Amino acid sequence: MKITIGSRGSQLALWQANWVKGRLAAAGYDLEIKIIKTTGDKLANIPLTQSGTKGLFIKEIEEALVAQEVDLAVHSLKDLPTEQPAGLTVAAVPEREDARDVLISRDGRRFSELPPGAHLGTSSLRRQSQLRRLRNDLEILPMRGNLDTRLKKLERGDCDAVVVAAAGVHRLEFKSRIAEYFAPDQLCSAVGQGALAIEIRCGDEKMQEAVAPLDHPATHRAVLAERAMLRHLGGGCQVP
């Protein structure tokens, strides 16, 4: 059976899609990856809080899934709005990577070692609000872009350090760049951070059967609880 996977085209998104592809290929399936450009990719220079759109990084992929242009979609689960479109479901959530946030600095300094006024790059309101609580003497710079883009901005001197998710850094094998891991009581991670979501059409029994072995029940239960909390609070990109 031929399976088409829908994915964004970033380095990290393709790593994730290829991870799923590799496991399904090992089970005997024939697969291809279809790269789909999302609204979030097209609005790369606009702060997330000003976009006015939910599901910035998954909307077009879900539309392709509904239209049967792809058979399944692979997302970073934290990008998935808590309210899914009718007819779609998260069929599997593989075992979670490290859910923490990390600091990557140009000179390897830890968070406490950054000088007053240092420029710290992050586009996340969640991170910004917590970082200001920890140190209000730093300059927080809004910074969009894929992980590889942010690291390039750091290298060329756009900022002194960036705060990003550990999971993506680990997956792209940039672990040696990490200056410090933030403890959960310093920076509370995003809902679903570190986990992948494998999304399919409701009622597609063949796809459900194909991806079922990739599901990690403990991770799936945990992210269901986190997403229920976020839905109840009305959280999202507009709320820290």
Using only the alpha carbons of the chain, give its radius of gyration.
18
Q: What is the DSSP string of 84-122?
A: PPTTEEEEE-PPP----EEEEETT---GGGSPTT-EEE-
Which residues, 6+ apart, have CB-to-CB distance to 69 below 8 Å? 4, 6, 34
Cα distance between residue 175 and residue 168, in whole Å: 9
Contact 65, 201 (CB under 8 A): yes
- Among 41, 71, 79, 204, which one carries the catalytic annotation? 79
DSSP assignment letter at 164: E
Q: Is 158 a known active-site residue?
A: no
Cα distance between residue 184 and residue 36, in whole Å: 33
* SS3 label, residue 6: strand
Q: What is the DSSP string of 196-231?
A: EEEEEETT-HHHHHHHGGG--HHHHHHHHHHHHHHH
- Which residues are annotated as catalytic? 79
